[in-house]
Structure 1
Amino acid sequence: MATFPANCVFPARVVAIDVGGTKITGSIVRYDSAEAEPVVEDSRTVATEAMKGGASVLDKICSLACNLAACAPSSPLGIGVGTAGRVDAKSGDIAYANDLMPGWGGQPLASALHERSGLPTAVLNDVQAYAVGEARWGAGRGADTCIMIAAGTGVGGAVIAHGRIVRGKHGFAGEVGHMASSVATGIPCVCGGSGHLESVAAGSGIEARFFEATEEHLSGAEISALAAKGEQPARRIIK
């Protein structure tokens, strides 16, 4: 169940933003009661264009959020953001981002959104936000503890215990992609370490391993399709 102000009048609305390395999606989400499942009323997507730098991405997010808030049928209660990168739990700033989003690390996301929109703003890592959604409304609904593993361009993870995100001392608990993996021994990771699960199990890792074996640049989806047909080395690398 979501938490609302004591004097909240329903239906209540929030602005929800999902920030990825390829695209940024913003939505107006309506709650008809504190117990009701959220309903997406309006959704818009813009290209992230991450290579233009963190300041450009930040401006796009703020513009999208403000435009959605201005078009909402009623004044939104606030803005919620799930974003790529590691988020400082206290400030809502981007504490770290890898080279997939150059210059994103250090961006003052929560404060910039609040200043531009005038609305209360909360920021989570995208996989943590995903985990909260699944725990409240999806596959983990009714469970006391949930573990989310998100496998895509990278491998992310999050843990929900007793209805709350387990953040850890530095706010990065649940990052399963950077756990040690014996099959990744000696392979560099985008985080600067080596031997991590993400290096072999993420889409980017699968693509890199396939190129090493074949000198062919194929997408993760193309490699998966080859593996499904039984072709080597795609089958071996996917396995």
Structure 2
Amino acid sequence: MSARFAGLDIGGTKIAAGLVDADGRLLRSDRVPTPRTGADDVLAAAADLATRVLAGEAVAGVGVGAPGVIDRAAGTVLSATDVLPGWAGAPVRPALERRLGRPVTVDNDVRAMALGEVRAGAARGYADVLFVSVGTGVGGALARHGRLRRGPHGTAGEVGHLLAGRTGPIACGCGRRDHVEAVASGPAIAAGGPDALPRAAALLGRALAGLVTALDVDAVVIGGGVAQAGPAFLTPLERALRAEVLPPLRAIPILGAALGADAPIVGAALLAADALEDTTR
């Protein structure tokens, strides 16, 4: 039997856990509401859920996708928005390793989603991939040959801070109103009126066109809650992106995410698989 891994997806409203094999197949999963009473309670609930889902199964490691800026070496949360009260500074890896007795790997939740789609979802088989998540915020990740590219400062793929060319109805997480997160995130679309969805999609597509041209990727995957609107969002985004990129890039696939809510669980488990591979090289 190949190695198996646990994946944990910690979010603002729910915590999900799953048992995943080395090929990214989700074998079983469950979820619980996220406690709103601080990081200690969130991590206790995550550990309890993982223990229940694993049901005595021996796993080679545990991967966690968590909101915020993550110190991957320490496995802690450097900074976070108020999506989870008291989440900044959370000792995710130390707390979960103590409770679960397994090595734990932690990364940002959008990167976990991206890895799931790259290795087991819509982008499987593509060499260079840009993943974009459009939900409460706008985030992204880059992957090459199935491995995440984080960059020397850990910001590779952070598309939410691209300039949008207009002022949005809400502020980006950094405070500015001229970033794509201020015009194309779920809350920005909700605040923008009845025609905001296609308008936001087109603005995001134009912004991504410049990035796609500079990076020269061979596939773009769009995920997150807003992307679940389907063609109403993806079609104007794709039309705008193709109109703006250089000719050699006009035929690259623009793909809707395939794994849905399972993507961050699968991707988190694959983070643990990568960490194990790195330690045994």
Where 2:41 maps in the other structure, the secondary structure is: helix
Contact 1:98 1:191 in 2 (8 A): no
- The amino acid across from 1:27 in the alignment is G
Q: Give the CA deviation at 1:76.
A: 1.0
Match of 1:42 among 15, 23, 28: 28
Contact 2:72 2:105 in 1 (8 A): no
1:87 corresponds to 2:77: no
Q: Counterparts of 1:41-80 in structure 2 under 5 Å?
A: 41-49=27-35, 51-69=36-54, 71-72=55-56, 74-80=57-63
1:12 corresponds to 2:3: yes
Contact 2:131 2:140 in 1 (8 A): yes
Aligned to 2:141: 158
1:109 corresponds to 2:100: no
Please provide the CA RMSD for this pair.
2.7
Residues 90-135 of structure 1: CA distance to partner in whole angstroms, max 9, x if unpaired?
1121122112222111101111111111101111211111221222
Contact 1:127 1:156 in 2 (8 A): yes
Q: Give the CA deviation at 1:185.
A: 6.1
Q: Distance in 1 between matches of 2:122 and 2:90?
A: 32
Contact 1:55 1:103 in 2 (8 A): no
Q: How does the TM-score come out when normalised to structure 2?
A: 0.64
Match of 1:21 among 9, 12, 32: 12
Gap runs ≥5 in structure 2: 197-224, 234-281
1:205 corresponds to 2:188: yes
Q: Give the CA deviation at 1:43.
A: 1.1
Q: Distance in 2 between matches of 1:106 and 1:125?
A: 14
Number of matched pairs = 201
Q: How does the TM-score come out when normalised to structure 1?
A: 0.74
Which structure carries more helix by proportion? 2
- The amino acid across from 2:39 in the alignment is G
Q: Distance in 2 between matches of 1:62 and 1:26?
A: 9
Q: Distance in 2 between matches of 1:123 and 1:204?
A: 27
Q: Counterparts of 1:184-195 in structure 2 under 5 Å?
A: 184=167, 188-195=171-178
Q: Which has the higher contact order (CA 8 A, sep 6+)?
A: 2
Contact 1:135 1:163 in 2 (8 A): yes
Please say which structure displays the higher CA radius of gyration.
1
Q: Distance in 2 between matches of 1:63 and 1:114?
A: 12
Q: Distance in 1 between matches of 2:6 and 2:64?
A: 8
Q: Distance in 1 between matches of 2:116 and 2:122?
A: 9
Gap runs ≥5 in structure 1: 1-9, 32-36, 214-219, 229-239
The percentage of counterpart residues that share the same residue type is: 41
